[in-house]
């Protein structure tokens, strides 16, 4: 609850309820122990009174001590409560979702949900199993109300034939209530509760651009530390040559300061920071006079498009050659998490099922069809809350303005997924770091994108053991990098900071300064090219 940022009053109320429940349970246990001690004292006193062999009691009785393990209370609901439960359950399960589909004008989704609800309604409420269980025996079916049969045989059955029929009926009624169904029901209930907590936290915080955080990357006082790896060990994905790889003509010019894949990774990191701290980092990374943060373009765009949602958070960085890169921020709030779920939940669920089924790869075509159909049902409602609508409009706005020679887009995590969608929709180069793929959910966006658009305009960096990068299907163009974090550090491979250190260390010959935190992540200390002999640790301590 603290993680969900629930108020202190609610947390205190929940704690008080738990304490009250614990005291109530303790009171019952105390009374039971006290009663058992009373019985024990009576037994001991009876034994002492009759120790001489005399019988002082006129009545002959035996005393015994029993231990109570569990207490069960069997209650029978009244007809009024049964009707109340029936109405509330159907309002929650049927009316609210159906009203949502109708309100969003999703008639196909409304009709599909109504048909599924009627099928489940018939199966649940017209089932013979609960009726027989309530009667106790199907031998009373068809008799007058209030008539009962006396059974004194094995397990309450008068004959062995009746016992066999009851046993068979027991197994039949339990076929739809086996262990696997209970396990999956608990799992679905857990995710429903989790989604409810996240939804409440998102509603309380609301959409909007959250102010960035203070920079948590520290460059040494002497920015001449670089990793140096022999050229033959350098992967071809280190340099920016996407135009020759995938046919895109949206790459930077030869004079652009953006020369390495690590540059895009760095730009995704600064999108999380406060605006007043970004320009000094750009000067340190690219050099003074090479990269500039355009702070006025985004407010001007939003004033010109007041009808667009303004929940996405992104920055625009322009360069000395006239090019520009849109940097989209990743997930930082609960509302961002809900946007992630709306875009990629269908593909993620089918991926989970496919991985759990033997030879799941044989169902690729079927899974792709199912994901597309589910995505089409939610396409109109997803568009109303999705960030890609604003980022796509912003990229089109930049391209139509003619201010920049070329425009590209990059992002990390959710920002990377939005970059892939926007790049395919606007025919713009998109570089994503640790981002979910747009392949399986391409039908969930409006306008719909094709596999050819994704292939021609996207490039993804996929760290090893990063689960988020594998959501949404396989990336069309990608570069895999290692993750040197511990196997028990679950989310470390998803961090953009670690990916940047990996690119700097693996690629080498990247004339970009290594920041101090790379060494704390387990990477070796880089060497200084100025020949001063100063260590990175000393330069970082001087700061």
192 and 324 part of one domain: no
Parent domain of 12: 1-37
Query: Does the residue 482 lie in any domain?
Result: yes
191 and 230 part of one domain: no
182 and 277 part of one domain: no
Three-class secondary structure assignment of 468-497? HHHCCCCCCCEEEECCCCCCCCCCHHHCHH
For the entire predicted model, the pTM comes to 0.67
What does the pLDDT average to over 81-99?
84
Query: Does the residue 347 lie in any domain?
Result: yes
Query: Does the residue 428 lie in any domain?
Result: yes
Confidence at residue 323, expressed as pLDDT on a 0 to 100 scale: 92
pLDDT at 54 over 80: no
306 and 410 part of one domain: yes
Determine the Cα–Cα distance for residues 240 and 339; give it in Å rounded to an integer: 31
Contacts of 485 (CB under 8 A, 6+ apart): 465, 492, 493, 498, 521, 522
Q: Taking the CA atoms of 143, 146, 149 and 155 in sequence, report the sign of the dihedral they define.
A: positive
203 and 286 part of one domain: no
Determine the Cα–Cα distance for residues 182 and 394; give it in Å rounded to an integer: 48
Grade residue 316 by pLDDT with cuts at 50, 70 and 90: very high
198 and 232 part of one domain: no
For residue 153, the 8-state DSSP code is: S
Cβ–Cβ under 8 Å, residues 388 and 422: yes
How far is the CA of 51 from the CAs of 59, 115, 196, 322, in angstroms? 17, 78, 67, 109
Grade residue 70 by pLDDT with cuts at 50, 70 and 90: low
Phi, psi of 143, deg, nearest 5: -90, 170
293 and 195 part of one domain: no
421 and 506 part of one domain: yes
Query: Does the residue 77 lie in any domain?
Result: no
Query: Does the residue 146 lie in any domain?
Result: no
Q: Is the peptide bond before 447 cis (omega within 30 degrees of 0)?
A: yes
CATH number, domain at 472?
3.40.50
386 and 478 part of one domain: yes
What does the pLDDT average to over 409-436?
92
Count Cβ atoms below 10 Å from residue 282 Cβ, excluding itself.
Answer: 20
Q: Tell me the per-residue pLDDT of 340-385, one tens digit each, with 9 for 90 and over.
A: 677 777 777 777 777 777 777 777 777 777 777 776 666 666 666 6
pLDDT at 33 over 90: no
What does the pLDDT average to over 247-273?
76
Query: Does the residue 42 lie in any domain?
Result: no
Query: Does the residue 202 lie in any domain?
Result: yes
Q: Bigger pLDDT: 43 or 297?
A: 297
183 and 265 part of one domain: no
Determine the Cα–Cα distance for residues 127 and 173; give it in Å rounded to an integer: 9
Query: Does the residue 391 lie in any domain?
Result: yes
What does the pLDDT average to over 125-131?
69
Number of structural domains, the chain?
A: 3
How far is the CA of 257 from the CAs of 60, 412, 465, 534, in angstroms? 104, 21, 31, 27
194 and 277 part of one domain: no
185 and 296 part of one domain: no
Grade residue 430 by pLDDT with cuts at 50, 70 and 90: very high
**Which has the closest alpha carbon to 509: 291, 321, 269, 262?**
262
């Amino acid at each position: 609850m603290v993680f969900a940022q629930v108020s202190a009053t609610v947390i205190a109320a929940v704690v008080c309820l738990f304490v009250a429940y614990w005291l109530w349970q303790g009171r019952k246990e105390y009374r039971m122990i006290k009663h058992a001690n009373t019985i024990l004292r009576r037994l001991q006193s009876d034994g002492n009174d009759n120790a001489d062999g005399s019988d002082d009691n006129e009545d002959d009785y035996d005393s015994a001590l029993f231990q109570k393990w569990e207490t069960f209370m069997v209650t029978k609901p009244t007809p009024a409560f049964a009707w109340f439960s029936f109405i509330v359950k159907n309002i929650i399960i049927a009316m609210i979702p159906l009203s949502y589909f109708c309100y969003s004008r999703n008639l196909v989704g409304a009709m599909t949900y109504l048909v599924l609800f009627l099928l489940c309604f018939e199966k649940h409420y017209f089932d013979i199993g609960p009726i027989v269980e309530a009667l106790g025996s199907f031998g009373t079916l068809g008799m007058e109300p209030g008539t009962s049969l006396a059974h004194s045989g094995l397990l309450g059955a008068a004959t062995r034939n009746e016992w066999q029929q009851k046993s068979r009926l027991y197994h039949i009624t339990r076929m739809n209530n086996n262990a696997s169904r209970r396990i999956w029901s608990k799992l679905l209930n857990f995710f429903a509760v989790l989604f409810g907590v996240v939804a409440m936290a998102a509603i309380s915080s609301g959409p909007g651009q959250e102010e960035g955080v203070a920079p948590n990357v520290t460059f040494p006082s002497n920015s001449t530390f670089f990793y140096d790896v022999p050229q033959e060990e350098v992967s071809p994905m280190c340099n920016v040559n996407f135009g020759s790889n995938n046919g895109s003509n949206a790459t930077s010019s030869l004079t652009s300061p953006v020369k390495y894949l690590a540059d895009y990774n760095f730009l995704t990191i600064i999108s999380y920071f406060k605006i007043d701290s970004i320009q000094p980092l750009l000067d340190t990374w690219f050099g003074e006079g090479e990269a500039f943060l355009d702070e006025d373009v985004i407010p001007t765009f939003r004033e010109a498009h007041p009808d667009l949602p303004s929940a996405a958070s992104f920055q625009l960085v322009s360069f000395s050659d006239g090019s520009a890169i849109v940097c989209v921020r990743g997930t930082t709030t609960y509302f961002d998490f809900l946007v992630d779920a709306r875009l990629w939940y269908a593909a993620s669920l089918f991926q989970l099922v496919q991985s759990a089924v033997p030879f799941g790869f044989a169902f690729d075509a079927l899974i792709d069809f199912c994901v597309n159909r589910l995505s089409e049902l939610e396409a109109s409602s997803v568009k109303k809350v999705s960030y890609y609508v604003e980022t796509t409009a912003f990229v089109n706005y930049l391209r139509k303005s003619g201010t920049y020679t070329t425009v590209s887009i990059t992002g990390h995590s959710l920002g990377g997924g939005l970059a892939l969608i926007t790049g395919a929709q606007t025919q713009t180069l998109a570089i994503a770091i640790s981002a979910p793929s747009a392949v399986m959910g391409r039908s969930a966006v409006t306008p719909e994108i094709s596999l050819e658009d994704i292939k021609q305009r996207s490039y993804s960096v996929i760290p090893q053991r990063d689960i988020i990068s594998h959501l949404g299907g396989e990336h069309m163009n990608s570069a895999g990098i290692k993750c040197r974090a511990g196997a028990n550090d679950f989310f470390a491979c998803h961090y953009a900071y670690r990916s940047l250190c990996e690119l700097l260390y693996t690629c080498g010959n990247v004339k970009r300064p290594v920041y101090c935190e790379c060494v704390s992540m387990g990477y070796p200390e880089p060497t200084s090219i100025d020949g001063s002999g100063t260590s990175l640790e000393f330069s970082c301590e001087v700061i």
